[in-house]
Amino acid sequence: MRQIELYDTTLRDGSQSEDISFSVEDKLRITEKLDDFGIHYIEGGWPGSNPKDAEYFKKVRKLPLSFSKIVAFGSTHKPHTKVELDPNIKALLDSKAKIITIFGKTWDFHVYEALRVSLEENLEIIYNSILYLKSHVEKVFFDAEHFFDGYRHNSDYAIRCLQTAKDAGADCLVLCDTNGGTLPNSIRDIISDVLAKINAPIGIHTHNDSECAVANSVIAVQMGAVQVQGTINGFGERCGNANLCSIIPNLQIKLGYKCLPDEKLRSLRDLSRFVNEIANLRHFKRQPYVGDSAFAHKGGVHVNAVNKNPDTYEHIRPELVGNSHRVLISDLAGKSNILRKARELNISIKPDSPELKNILDELKELEHQGFQFEGADASFELLLKKLLGQHRRFFDLIGFRVIVSKRKENEDPLSEATIMVKVGKSIEHTAATGNGPVNALDNALRKSLYKFYPKLKSVKLHDYKVRVLTAGKGTSAKVRVLIESGDENSRWGTVGVSENIIEASWQALVDSIEYKLLKDTN
């Protein structure tokens, strides 16, 4: 069984999607999730291109990653600039990443039109860049940009670029279908020729402009590629990148390649939904393997057959990727997911426990209202403990009021929150301001609780996201609020849903505070 290296570029290539903008904190959370999942290489960004990526590489060094290797991405050195003086090359080394992926031109059209240098000068640029970086880091991967287009236009030169990269010491030659227009039969033929002429490990990096990115990646592995690059959920520029959520099960379940341990594969759906939540995007119901509809059946012959034997209308067992059967007319799914999550949280629930049905009923109702708990594990843990009678109430709200006032056209609005809470027999009434109504409410809530629970002073609100759930209703639409909080030891996500954005925010804020207090008392 051949081992395939998984290379995730969600944080760099995926963030180039027009709908996505990851904060540094978003990228760090996704990094931790990818590490836990078992991704071999995580491309963190291009440290020479923007301050956000430079900050990411400073902070990611402090994460206690257990498996994944962080990769810095950049370009070959600029023409007419010595490699050691090139600011992009310097930024790559300053990132302290031990592995660097560098892209270079392999299409002669780009050499002439983009770089404006001769073909020989481009080869020197590739060679010098890789040789210099290789003397400073553990590994250098070469992304052969526009390789398949370059091969079709001038195959001899495209192959020479690969040979040059190999001679300079590149650890893997990654063949890139940068414009995403190559079809599977061409992928097969071109890779076959490459492997006949170049004795080196190759990888594959495809885009989805012709809806073939996954198929092209799978074929490349079948032809001999040892590294496959892609993004979670297929995020990426234009039509997106190759979707790892489809590539991984195709390779491991269908074809028998080893990508990661089977138990990790069972968390694929959770990973997919987590990244969607952090990106603040709706989940694609019909996404293969991990979508809500991937193993859903509605009425008639299908349901009857699946109830007898799921293999009749399902190409794999959904549990292999963390999904579950859904019979839409009776909604029978969910128990296994809850039991597995409860085990992760050290919460004891027996499969035949009557509480399990109550939990399922409550989850169905909350999901109908718009709640989603991917990216909000803290809210889910609190919900389980409430339904199992294991929750401790730390405070009760008596009431709050939030005022937003604007006195002059050219001045910022002033936000103030007043709150009254009861802790034990004590009542605390206080107020606070903030740079917005939610921030003011957050400040007032914390202020009212500090003297009872001083450890709350270590809690910081790291991120706040709002998603409109009922499109077409304008300002009266229902919204979902996702909050990320943290202390000096960990971070956690909480969620709230309401037609009133302040109420939804309040729900998420209360869960955040209660989770911290519960965590510290365990």
Q: For the segment 356-367, what is each residue's pLDDT rounded down to a tens digit? A: 888 888 888 888
Instruction: Give the pLDDT of residue 356.
Output: 85
Say which residue, 303 or 438, is predicted with more confidence.
438
Give the mean model confidence (pLDDT) for residues 2-30: 95
**All residues at 6 or more sequence positions from 336 whose CB lies less than 8 Å from its CB, including other chains:** 319, 324
- Sheet strands side by side (includes 479-486): 460-468, 479-486, 491-498
Is 80 exceeded by the pLDDT of residue 328?
A: no
Res 332: pLDDT: 40
pLDDT at 111: 95
pLDDT value at residue 299: 60
- Mean pLDDT is lowest, of 18-32, 288-302, 364-378, for 288-302
pLDDT for position 331:
39
User: What's the average model confidence in pLDDT over 125-137?
Assistant: 98
Q: Is the pLDDT of residue 196 over 50?
A: yes
Q: Which residue has the higher pLDDT, 73 or 303?
A: 73
Q: What is the DSSP string of 310-368?
A: GGGT-SS-GGGGT---EETTT----HHHHHHHHHHTT----TT-HHHHHHHHHHHHHHH
Dist CA 275 CA 377 (whole Å): 13
Beta bridge mates, 71: 43, 99
Q: Which of 153-157, 297-301, 421-425, 436-440 has the lowest mean pLDDT?
A: 297-301
User: What tokens appear for 311 in the block?
Assistant: 């293999």
pLDDT of residue 269 exceeding 80, the answer is: yes
CA 49 and chain centroid, separation: 21
Return the percentage of the chain with pLDDT > 90, whole number.
75
Residue 241 has pLDDT above 50, yes or no: yes
Nearest of 369, 381, 397, 343 to residue 515 by alpha carbon: 381
CA torsion, ordered 338, 339, 341, 343, to nearest 10 deg = 160
What confidence tens digit (pLDDT) does each residue in 382-406 have?
999 999 988 889 999 999 999 999 8
Residues 6+ apart with CB under 8 A from 228: 4, 5, 6, 7, 203, 204, 217, 220, 221, 242, 244, 247, 251
Identify the bridge partners of residue 45 per DSSP, sorted by sequence position.
Answer: 72
Per the model's pLDDT, the better-predicted residue between 329 and 507 turns out to be 507
Average pLDDT over residues 419-447: 94
CA dihedral 297, 301, 304, 305 (to 10 degrees): -90
Q: What is the pLDDT of residue 81?
A: 94
With 60 as the cut, is the pLDDT of residue 334 above it?
no
Phi, psi of 125 (to 5 degrees): -60, -45
Say which residue, 33 or 335, is predicted with more confidence.
33
Average pLDDT on 161-178 reads: 98
Compute the average pLDDT of residues 118-134: 97
Ordered domains of the chain (ranges, CATH): 5-260 (3.20.20.70), 362-392+459-522 (3.30.160.340), 395-452 (3.30.160)
Q: Is 381 helix (H, G, I), strand (E, B) or coil?
A: helix
User: Mapping DSSP to helix (H, G, I), strand (E, B) and coil, where does residue 29 land?
Assistant: helix
Instruction: Say how far apart CA 24 and CA 434 lie, in whole Å.
Output: 23
Token digits of residue 500: 């009133």
- What one-character DSSP code corresponds to residue 67? S
- As to burial, measured by CB atoms within 10 angstroms (0-12 exposed, 13-18 middle, 19+ buried), residue 352 is exposed
Res. 41: pLDDT tops 90:
yes
- Alpha-carbon distance 485 to 418, whole Å? 22
Position 404 scores a pLDDT of 94
Stated as kind and residue range, the H or E segment containing 270 is helix 268-279
pLDDT score of 335 more than 90 = no
Q: Give the pTM.
A: 0.76
The chain-wide mean pLDDT, for the chain, equals 92
Whether residue 329 has pLDDT greater than 60: no
pLDDT at 330: 33
